[in-house]
Amino acid sequence: MPTDNRRNRRGKMIRNMGGKMKSHSENPPGGVVYISGRQLSQRWQCSRSSVDRIARRAGLARLCLGDGKNGMIRYVREEVIAYENSRQSKPQS
């Protein structure tokens, strides 16, 4: 599939995959089980606050590491993949 690489207004490289969501490996190297909110915001191409809102509404399990505002939040990768698969639209015939 051809990609269309462009730069946004801030000069950051963006990739258009022809209107189709970029496929991410379901078996990442090193057996990574969790994914951070920042990684999800890059994966879904949205803001970090949108990731929090979407994850809360979808009921994604959160792993909270640390306390207070500086604590880290991680999401279970398998749940994220299952959520993405459930939200994909089916092509009309």
Region label for 52, one of left (φ > 0), alpha (ψ between -120 and 50) or beta (otherwise): alpha
* Residue that is written with structure tokens 């909110």 in the block: 37
Residue 80 three-state SS: helix
For residue range 33-45, what is the model confidence (pLDDT) as tens digits? 999 999 999 999 9
Alpha helices in the chain (DSSP H): 37-44, 48-58, 77-87
For residue range 50-89, what is the model confidence (pLDDT) as tens digits? 999 999 999 999 999 988 888 899 999 999 999 999 998 8
pTM of the model as a whole: 0.63
